[in-house]
Structure 1
Amino acid sequence: MNQAPASPRPSGCPIDHAALAAAQSPTGCPVSARAAAFDPFGDGYQQDPPEYVRWAREQEPVFYSPQLGYWVVTRYDDIKAIFRDNITFSPSIALEKITPTGPEANAVLASYGYAMNRTLVNEDEPAHMPRRRVLMDPFTPEELKHHEPMVRRLTREYVDRFVDDGRADLVDQMLWEVPLTVALHFLGVPEEDMDLLRQYSIAHTVNTWGRPKPEEQVAVAHAVGNFWQLAGKILDKMRLDPSGPGWMQYGLRKQQTHPDVVTDSYLHSMMMAGIVAAHETTANASANAIKLLLQHPQAWREICEDPNLIPNAVEECLRHNGSVAAWRRLATRDVEIAGIAIPAGSKLLIVTSSANHDEGQFADADLFDIRRENASDQLTFGYGSHQCMGKNLARMEMQIFLEELTRRLPHLKLAEQAFTYVPNTSFRGPEHLWVEWNPAQNPERANPALLQGQHPVRIGEPSSHAITRPVEVQSAVEAADGILRLRLASPDGKALPRWSPGSHIDVECGDTGLSRQYSLCGDPAETGVWEIAVLREANGRGGSAWMHEHAVPGARLRIRGPRNHFRLDESAGKLILIAGGIGITPISAMARRARELGLDYELHYSGRTRRSMALAAELAALHGDRLRLHIKDEGGRADYAALLAAPQDKAQVYACGPQGLLDALAGCCAAWPEDALRVEHFHSTLGTLDPSKEQAFEAVLKDSGIVITVPADQTLLTALRGANIDVQSDCEEGLCGSCEVRVLEGDIDHRDVVLTRAEREANGKMMACCSRSCGGKRVVLEL
């Protein structure tokens, strides 16, 4: 039953049947007016698919399109669940012609011997995974490193051709030919006529995902047939000497040891599909990304100034405006999606570009934010066992394109133009991308050495360590002995990202290579400013000393975050907030929030001397008799054993301070309900790997259909990345929780400081950066 924003009828159906057209879904339910009008070949969908289906995402997330003959799915969780279950939702129609061709075009294809077979994209189990395993190694990050010099050389050569012209169509002059050349090199295909291959590739796209008019179908069929025959000829040449470095030669060698898995017909189909898949989506994604960045000049300037932002900018571009707008699946049994009954045999159009704009997964989803921390959750590459194998090659190419253009043409601007797209359901990128610049401003003219530089490429999902933002020190005042209180603001005066009590930021200490974490201690409602307090540590490693010397008013700092791994439970019946020394910073924000909400709370603050206790006067003014100062030199030593002797109903204890204090509090709360005590950690050695004491173990990745071995000298996170599996990470010490993965089976040796006691005992999740299997036994993960 299609859901729509209408009040329920007496029958219980939310659709006003009388107000709708006669069109019905296969279940017999009337189709809503907007569903009946859905046209993925029209300009609205081609220009902006997520906006075109916003109504569906918000009101009718699963609907039937009578024009298309498909059920259309638009929300993130539903689409990810479809990708995860490749048995119920078969990929077999992924390459099926969405518009059936007529007998004349079919006869043309037959005359060329066109016999496109299943490939990795549209193959069911049990055939799919054995082939994927056999052919996957060349796509791993370690193997892809070998292609970086070639990609960079090609990119520079093509930029050289137009860098002094002042105007270029980046699609025609770089973004189509470079990915095509890279694809041919990767596949091991000799470079043929690129214009011809481009024509064939577009024809293949239109033939499979487009709606060619009857008079166009014959011409398209001839191009596809020629493409098929060319792929066969190239493969025949390769068979004469399969010792080359390309993926197709790799497949030919694997055929010798796995003849039943890597067959002749399979290789022929993969040759043709590989040329399209390896270059067209990358070309489109690159054009979309550059267009998007130039439409957001501030983001363009920021990646020009800080190339470290490029990997995450690529990910956000793929999320916000990716090259794969939608994909297809076939329901193999009766099933429900979001409460809608889908009969067996139904065809599904899963609009991944809509999922990437789902507010339920991405906060402010329509906002283009190159620092978005979960941008890698995008589904442009798909998910699960059929996820795009070439995703990291595409990421590499896009990073290099952006690095070379931002370094050599930072003054690039979009020219006035109307953007057009090849009409189809799935692949999208502008046919042309005209840009302009003033060649006299090219930085390499004044600094030829600029051409010698390059920035390291991140192969795989981006690291959040590199996602920094500039802030300016607005004020720096002494808050107590040895404690500097800083107010930080955005240099452009714009609001800073929102934060919640318990959040911290990471501050880079100039060029020292040091990075330090500081809790935010101001008022979360003050969106234009962040406040931190920095204790100068006499025996530290130099970070606090650098901050005290360099964080002066007007200074620029680079920060990461904010992140919150110490979140306040606002539903607690009572809050006991405990701080020792500089640990008052996160606790002060929690106390402020408790006061605003009218919660029952008490605040305990311990220190050696009154002069060493930052924020004390401010806290007294805000919290009155709810504040207890325990000042050692004034005989006010805290008796936490007495305070916490008896568990208090529905109370939560939050603490931050020296490790000795936290250890003592853990002892005091031993009789309390599990997880009643919550503490802030900035450092942990629990996950330190000692290979001599570890055991290797196997991890079964249920969604991806593969099994990986985690050696004794390697973390699960490293092993996952080596197998081409995307996993977010940040601290890689078990402190932050960003690399959490779901555990379906197996006992875990938890070495993080994130999970609560109850979560550890439940064994439902683990931190991939540090935790391991107990006793080297197999674990099953939802990845």
Structure 2
Amino acid sequence: MSNVDASPRNNACPVGQLPVSGQRAPDGCPVSARAADFDPFTDAYQQDPPEYLRWAREQEPIFFSPQLGYWVVTRYDSIKAIFRDNITFSPSIALEKITPTSDEANAVLASYGYAMNRTLVNEDEPAHMPRRRMLMDPFTPEALKHHEPMVRKLAREYVSRFIDDGRADLVDQMLWEIPLTVALHFLGVPEEDMDTLRKYSIAHTVNTWGRPQPEEQVEVAHAVGNFWQFAGKVLDKMRQDPSGDGWMFYGIRKQKENPEIVTDSYLHSMMMAGIVAAHETTANATANAMKLLLSHPDVWREIGEDPSLIPNAVEECLRHNGSIAAWRRLVTADTQVDGVDLPAGARLLIVTSSANHDERHFTDADLFDIRRDNSVDHLTFGYGSHQCMGKNLARMEMQIFVEEFARRLPHMRLAQQTFSYVPNTSFRGPEHLWVEWDPNANPERKDAGRRASTMPIRVGEPSRHAITRQVIVDSVTPVAEGIVRLRLVAPDGKAMPRWTPGSHIDIDCGTPDLSRQYSLCGDPAETNVLEIAVLREDQGRGGSTWVHTQVKAGDRLTMRGPRNHFRLDEDAGKIVFVAGGIGITPISAMARRARSLGIDYQLHYSGRRRSTMALLDDLAALHGDRLHVYAGDERHNDLAALLRTPESGTRIYACGPAKMLRALEICSAHWPDDALRTEHFVATKGQLDPAKEHAFEVELKDSGLVVKVRADQTMLAALRAANVDVQSDCEEGLCGSCEVRVLAGEVDHRDVVLTRAERDANNKVMTCCSRALGGRLVLEL
């Protein structure tokens, strides 16, 4: 890759006479006028990059910026694909100066012996991955846990310094110093003068991603040069006794074992880059998060009332208003992005903050929703082999800071102010964040215990089980023998979360340890209510009995979701719906939707007798002669006859007892492989018996890692232990949320999610329960 031209192309037009849009820039370059005007150093970009680039996401997802000399990429799928392919899209320019500096400034840097080399951020293969693997262990969730007490102690001490003042600049008085202290502790660097290191860090940011004016460049160069020498002196001192704690000491010891992989220049560059990366992004991210949370008082109040929301709130803050606005990549071979031809040597500014607001991936992307169930999909930490190694340290710190503020200063609010940012393309956070509150209303003045209480911190990506919502039971109505329908509404009377047919919610049945899933059975168009129907099963696990005996109108319940892993194919030519017993709940919503779309459908509903079959009157009124009822004391559904003749373009959706679903599988065996879609109540195939399992390896194609899965360990657990984010929900093979694409290797499928055709295709795996038939799987992770 060193043969690729990496020289700056500022103010150049690379697109010849092939117009990217119907307009030309003022200099004649065939790009749109808005592309010609793009300037990431303006205040509009600094204040809100996603809004500044909304036009591009919607109209021109990739465009050339003559001012910058870069192609700008704005959509989620394209940016994730660029991260995934680190060969075609080299990270080598990630730390290159985006603004060329003067000869005088360059001479100043040279006088300090400045020789910044490759780091984990901007290194190409094959050198990058061996170093990353060698240096990764201290970043795993298990290794990071021991930093938590120190972070908590610092947060408590810093808040105590200003809690009685009634006003504070959170950036100056806390959010810069603590992440810097934690970063130095993590690296093993002795704590030096905070103000000086902050100046160095800002100078490094401006030097790399900013546009310093000629008169500023020399001053910035001196600060960066001093930073370089500081890093070298600390590293030299560490080498005298490399037995200390911290990542740099760890790196020095690894250098002795593998000097050809961990070199002197590499350690020096990582020392300097690590100080910046380990604290500046966290400081900025927390400041952005607090600004966002306090701008939404209702959300801030909810977090104070329910701290379990904090982990996902942090992810949503990182998505909605993260501290990394963009990264850069160099095209190494002629390629295409979003239909635009890119030549080798083209430079890309991939605006991850814009991708995080892409409606194609995030529904209502501009909405700040701390219960969003795919917030963790954000690209703020990057993706693939160059994903931020320190992501879980940042998550830990942010969770602790938000919890400390929410517990001790729940009445805190934003002060009137104008927010300013250091102009640069990539790192962003307010320079100051003034907040205020009434000290007389501090909760700990009445309850001293609030000062020291804490909540458990999740080191790693949050589980969807942590995303809770309080709901009020509007009514409890019997709808059949042993079945009640619950109508749930929001405590404040506002709209409930949107949902689609096939969705379910989780309800805590008296305790979070007794959480059960119930399919939604109402009308998605009725926005202020969610409906579930619950069958009492006295031999069950206790959830339904609790609902029937304890829940009454006016009660407050804890809910998670909605989530949908049983989606309706709205493009189907015809649909056969089959429901058994309480399995009518998701099917009823699907049939309602098919009717509204004008899809040809039939609804076959079986039960022991009519008195035990829920929703019969409603279904008959809505579906007329499309509804076929099979009460056991009257007649039975002949599934073999129903499915005797396969129909092209027809889907079969079924939910009900396991016996019925097994019969459907047999009776539809001669249908197209993907015709039958089922929803199961329980799964048993995924249960792990270590005595009957074998260990295997999982190669992560996008990350360049190889993870070993023990015989007594699920694939999901092994991936999380290796610092790899994989979302999950049921962890029983029921829901499909932990699905990962398979590139090679044979899968031992143990889920009840995939269709027969999907299993035969062998290109998907549910990591919570399925395993490898052989010794290795290759996954797209």
SS of the aligned residue for 1:100 comes to: coil
Say if 1:94 and 1:122, in contact at 8 Å, map to a contact too.
yes
Report the CA distance between 1:406 and its aligned residue: 0.6
Letter aligned with residue 304 of structure 1? G
Aligned to 2:7: none
SS at match of 2:682: coil
Aligned residue runs from structure 1 range 535-554, under 5 A: 535-554=535-554
Q: Describe how 1:670-709 pairs up with structure 2 within 5 A.
A: 670-709=669-708
Superposed, 1:423-442 pairs within 5 Å as 423-442=423-442
Gapped regions of structure 2 (runs ≥ 5): 1-16
Give the Cα separation in 2 of the matches to 1:502 and 1:384: 32
Task: Say which SS state the counterpart of residue 486 (structure 1) adopts.
Answer: strand
* CA distance 1:767–1:512, change in 2 (3 Å): closer
Would the alpha carbon gap of residues 450 and 336 (structure 1) be closer, same or farther in structure 2, given more than 3 Å must change? same
Task: Give the CA deviation at 1:622.
Answer: 1.9
Q: Identify the residue that residue 26 of structure 2 maps to in structure 1.
A: 21
- Would the aligned equivalents of 1:21 and 1:31 in 2 still touch at CA under 8 Å? no
1:434 alignment partner AA: W
Please name the residue that 1:780 is paired with.
778
**Other-structure match for 1:4:** none
2:570 is paired with a residue of what secondary structure? coil
TM-score, structure 2 length as denominator?
0.96
Q: Shift of the alpha carbon at 1:676?
A: 2.6
State the partner residue of 1:3. Answer: none
Q: Is the Cα–Cα contact under 8 Å of residues 23 and 66 in structure 1 kept in the other structure?
A: no
The equivalent of 1:42 in structure 2 is 42
Letter matched to residue 716 of structure 2: L
Amino acid at match of 1:782: E
**Which residue does 2:757 correspond to in 1?**
758
Residue 734 of structure 2 corresponds to which residue in structure 1? 735
Tell me how far apart the structure 1 counterparts of residues 365 and 726 of structure 2 sit (CA, whole Å).
Answer: 21
Partner in structure 1 of residue 717 of structure 2: 718
CA contact (8 A) 1:697 1:773 kept: yes
**Alignment pair present for 1:558 and 2:558:** yes
Summarize the alignment of residues 473-484 of structure 1 with structure 2, pairs less than 5 Å apart.
473-484=473-484
Q: Aligned residue for 2:13?
A: none
Residue 640 of structure 2 is matched in structure 1 by: 641
Task: State the match for 1:262 in structure 2.
Answer: 262
Pair 1:104-2:128 in alignment: no
Deviation at 1:186, TM superposition (A): 0.1
Name the residue aligned to 1:114. 114
| Residue deviations 1:252-301 (CA, integer Å, cap 9, x gap) | 11111011111112111111111000000000000000100111112111
- Range that drifts further, 333-342 or 735-744: 333-342
Corresponding residue for residue 8 of structure 1: none
Tell me by how many angstroms 1:369 deviates.
Answer: 0.8
Q: Report what 1:502 is aligned to.
A: 502
Determine helix, strand or coil for the equivalent of 1:81: helix
For residues 96 and 223 of structure 2, the distance between their equivalents in structure 1, rounded to whole angstroms, comes to: 17
CA RMSD of aligned residues (A): 1.6
Counterpart AA for 1:497: P
Runs of 4+ in 1 over 6 A off after TM superposition: none
Shift of 1:12: 8.9
Matched, 1:466 2:444: no
Judged with a 3 Å threshold, the aligned counterparts in structure 2 of structure 1 residues 602 and 62 are, in CA distance, closer, same or farther, namely closer
Corresponding residue SS for 1:534: strand
Corresponding residue of 1:271: 271
- Shift of the 61–595 alpha-carbon distance from structure 1 to 2, 3 Å rule, reads closer
Partner of 2:149: 149
Q: d(CA) in 1 for partners of 2:587 and 2:143?
A: 47
User: Deviation string for 1:723-762 (max 9, x for gaps)?
Assistant: 1111111111111111111111111111111111111111
| Mapped contact 1:91–1:329 kept (Cα < 8 A) | yes
Q: State the alpha-carbon separation in 2 of the partners of residues 81 and 14 from structure 1.
A: 21
Moved more, 328-337 or 395-404: 328-337
Alignment partners' CA distance in 2, 1:495 and 1:592: 21
| TM-score when normalising by structure 1 | 0.95
Match of 1:577 in 2: 577
AA aligned to 2:351 is V
Match of 2:163 in 1: 163
169-178 or 524-533, larger mean C-alpha shift: 524-533
Deviation at 1:486, TM superposition (A): 0.9
Instruction: Give the equivalent residue in structure 2 for 1:7.
Output: none
Q: 1:497, 1:527 within 8 Å by CA — same for their partners in 2?
A: yes
Structure 2: distance between partners of 1:349 and 1:290? 27
How far the C-alpha of 1:765 sits from its partner, in A, is: 1.3
Q: What SS does the corresponding residue of 1:473 show, helix, strand or coil?
A: strand
* SS of match in other structure, 1:522: coil
Give the aligned length: 765
In the other structure, the counterpart of 2:329 is 329
Is residue 201 of structure 2 the alignment partner of residue 196 of structure 1? Answer: no
Q: Which amino acid aligns with 1:161?
A: R
1:31-58 CA deviation, whole Å, 9 max, x = no partner?
3211111111111111111111111111
| Distance in 2 (alpha carbons) for counterparts of 1:329 and 1:604 | 55
Which runs of 5 or more residues in structure 1 are unaligned?
1-10, 25-29
Secondary structure at 1:119 match in 2: coil
Partner-residue secondary structure (3-state), 1:557:
strand
**Secondary structure of 2:336's match?**
strand
Per-residue CA deviation, residues 519-560 of structure 1 (Å, 9 max, x unaligned), is 111111111111111111111221112112332111111111
Amino acid at match of 1:643: L
The 2-side partners of 1:151 and 1:13 are apart by: 53
Deviation at 1:16, TM superposition (A): 3.7
Q: In structure 2, what residue type is equivalent to 1:687?
A: G
* Structure 1 residues 195 and 655, CA gap change in structure 2 (3 angstroms): same
Corresponding residue of 1:6: none
Cα deviation, 1:560-594, whole Å, max 9, x if unaligned, reads 11122222233333332222222221122222223
Matched-pair contact (CA < 8 Å) for 1:320–1:356: yes
Alpha-carbon contact 2:113-2:225 (below 8 Å) kept: yes
Match of 2:385 in 1: 385
Greater mean deviation of Cα atoms: 346-355 or 667-676: 667-676
**In the TM superposition, what is the alpha-carbon distance from 1:72 to its structure 2 partner?**
1.2
2:652 counterpart SS class: strand
* Other-structure match for 2:285: 285
Question: C-alpha offsets along residues 411-446 of structure 1, whole Å, 9 cap, x if unaligned?
Answer: 110000000000111100000000111111111111
Q: Structure 2 matches for 1:129-528, cutoff 5 A?
A: 129-511=129-511, 513-528=513-528
CA distance in 2, matches of 1:254, 1:218: 37
Q: 1:23 to 1:150 in 2, by over 3 A?
A: farther
CA distance in structure 2 between the partners assigned to 1:32 and 1:582 by the alignment: 57
Q: How far 1:20 moved relative to its partner?
A: 4.3
1:546 match: secondary structure: helix
Distance across 1 between alignment mates of 2:679 and 2:660: 12
Q: Deviations over 1:81-131 (max 9, x none)?
A: 111111111111111111111122122112211111111111111111111
